[in-house]
A and B are shown apart, each in its own frame.
Chain A
Amino acid sequence: MRSRMHPSYYLSADIFEREQQKLFRKLWLFAGLKTLLPENNCFITRKIAGIPVVIQNFQGELHAFENVCLHRSAPLQSEPVGRRPLVCQYHAWKYDAAGQVSNIPHCDALYQFSEPQKKSLKLREFALRAVGNLLFVNLSDDPLPLEEQFSAQFLASLESSSSAYDSEVMVTTWQCRFNWKLVQENLRDNNHVAFLHPRTLAPFVSFLPVVDPACAAETQEPLTDISTAGLRQEIRYFSYGGPEGTPSEYQSLGWHANVERWRPNTESADAQVVDGRVHNQPVVGECQQDAYFNWLAFPNLHIASGNGGNSFVIEHYIPVAPDRTDVDIYRFTARKKRPNPASTQILLSEMHHSRLILGEDFGMLEKVQSILHSQAPVPTQGIYETTNRLIERWYTTLLETEHGL
């Protein structure tokens, strides 16, 4: 089967900009962890779809604003994570929980704003939702309901697993030279594991691709309902999660005894089946608890637990340019039962393990990107690549028509 993904989807600046407008500024996007905002005045800053965003804790209430002061366009918060009131460091304009300017030093003497002028000074606020410990932001003025983007099973699975996260979080960013879609396709193609990770992953866990001829046949047909409702209906199929890889042998490490290991419930196991479409063959039986868990939240979030819920990794793929993707990596264990002075070293070991495996993926994807050109052959896909084919059918329809989300 021929892919619908012409090379220009990975190379063109125009298409990149269209993606930003039609996808990333319309969909709910991962924005950070609630565990990083535990107290009043705690904040995180991110650039989401090119827009600087600050999420700030106001007496326990979280709000997401454009991180730009209305006076001289300085960032209101400049660190990625921190704790200070929402006050611009340039001329000390202060903002409240509604995004309203609440104090301007020497306002009457130096600015002489009228009351209506002062009242009009309000930051642009973005829709913000917490799913367990995961924060999602939507940049649209009229955001689609979160429940339309993600299935109920998937949201339940995210909420259950993320509620087990510990508050100590290790974070870094890798700057990669490939288009963000290449890695999303790679994550939904578990047939590569045996070939690309023969020593690091394949000996320890096996993944079974799904072969579904009926669904594969469907992917040959064009998308029938290209209305906004139809496009929103289709998008729910692209996010799923649960016990995906069967471990060859569960390895218990000493520190596992010191964390409240997350255990999946029935809903978590079911989240790989969305409205009858099966994305992965879930692990069943006794070894399900020890499985390699994956959660893929379309468009650009991957969460995994490679040790049956003892620790987690979040990979957030941020498109920077057609051939550039920043990858924010978060590493944390399940909630600790008691403080451990060496806990950072556990996270660092896990981070290096991620680096090893993802380095193999990213190395290949950078090679793919490096030889792409506008006349390059369009990929030929097998029947097991149904999920990627469904996504590209939806994606090309969205980008090539006037219809939108």
Chain B
Amino acid sequence: MACRWIIGAGAALERAHESWCRSFPDSKIEKIPLVQNAQYEFDLEPLNAISPGEGSAFVAFDERFGNFKRVELMQAAMERGFKLASFVSPRAMVAGGVRIGPNAFVGDGAIVGHGCRIDYNCFLLPGVCLGSDVHLRASCWLESAVVVGDGAQIGAHSILRSGALVAAGVQVGRGCELGWPRRYDKDIVAKTVYDPRYDAPIHVYG
């Protein structure tokens, strides 16, 4: 039987592993935990002990460093010949005409409207709600209780925290973090960060 390796670290790894096991109880699923050193570099040695041709992999790591650490792991897996699968929970409600890229995660109770496009490496935690024709570009991270309105576009590497509501048609630029629990009803320039610890948005110029 082909194996499914769930590769990563931390709570994201535990969540993904549990979701795969619960959703596909008859599959052979193996958890591959990785360790980071003081410089946050992964020890990739456990990957070298696996024959990638005997199954497929799923990379599970959280949004740290703007989702770049998860991308880094994905690239390491692909360089070693792993084929990457995506996970869509049987308990999610996914409408027709939806396109989902590799290594995407659509958790329990997520609602994905008609015509949505979820690019590779996007993570939708349980309960995320996407309207119709939403486009999530690569490597986004959407927490529970995020709502994205019809036709909205979310730039690559963006992070939407619990309680963020992106209004219909709004374009969120690349690398944004919407951490204030509120309605975002205007387009947001790339790399804008709304962090609850700050009084004002954080902007990046140049």
Instruction: Report which A residues bind B (CB closer than 8 A).
Output: 35-36, 38, 80-81, 166-175, 253-254, 341-342, 344-345, 347-349, 351-352, 355
Contacts and interface: CB of A to CB of B under 8 A. Distances in A.
Given A344-B175, A345-B68, 11 more contacts: A169-B205, A170-B202, A171-B202, A171-B205, A341-B68, A348-B66, A348-B193, A348-B202, A349-B65, A351-B202, A355-B197
A143 B39 CA distance: 49
A101 B66 CA distance: 46
Contacts of B203: 80-81, 170-172
B139 to A, nearest CB: 11
B206 A174 contact: no
B65 A345 contact: yes
B114 interface: no
A13 B176 CA distance: 40
B205 A36 contact: yes
A168 B205 contact: yes
A172 B197 CA distance: 12
Contacts of A347: 204
B191 A174 contact: no
A355 B193 CA distance: 14
A253 B65 CA distance: 14
Given A254-B39, A342-B66, A169 B206 contact: yes
Contacts of B200: 172-175
Contacts of B10: none
B44 to A, nearest CB: 16
A169 B204 contact: yes
Contacts of A173: 199-200
Interface residues of B, number: 19
Contact of A253 (B39, B204, B205): B39
A242 to B, nearest CB: 27
8 contacts: A38-B206, A170-B202, A172-B199, A342-B68, A344-B66, A345-B65, A348-B66, A355-B197
B159 to A, nearest CB: 11
Contacts of A355: 197-198
B191 A344 contact: yes
A345 B191 CA distance: 9
B201 interface: yes
- 4 closest A-B pairs (Cβ-Cβ)? A167-B206, A172-B202, A345-B66, A168-B206
A341 B204 CA distance: 13
A345 B195 CA distance: 13
B62 to A, nearest CB: 13
Given A80-B203, A169-B206, A172-B203, A342 B198 contact: no
Nearest to A328: B200
A81 B191 CA distance: 14
Contacts of A254: 39, 41
A246 B175 CA distance: 36
B15 to A, nearest CB: 23
Interface in B125-177: 175
B3 to A, nearest CB: 31
A170 to B, nearest CB: 5
A351 B206 CA distance: 17
A348 B201 CA distance: 12
Contacts of B205: 36, 81, 168-169, 171
Given A173-B199, A254-B39, A348-B193, A342 B204 contact: no
B191 A172 contact: no
A347 B175 CA distance: 13
B204 A175 contact: no
B160 to A, nearest CB: 16
Nearest to A348: B193
A351 B205 CA distance: 14
Given A344-B66, A345-B65, A348-B66, A174 B198 contact: yes
A172 B68 contact: no
A170 B41 CA distance: 25
A139 B197 CA distance: 34
A351 B39 CA distance: 18
A170 B39 contact: no
**Interface hub of B66, B68, B202 (most chain A Cβ within 10 A):** B202
B56 to A, nearest CB: 27
A170 B198 contact: no
Nearest to B202: A172
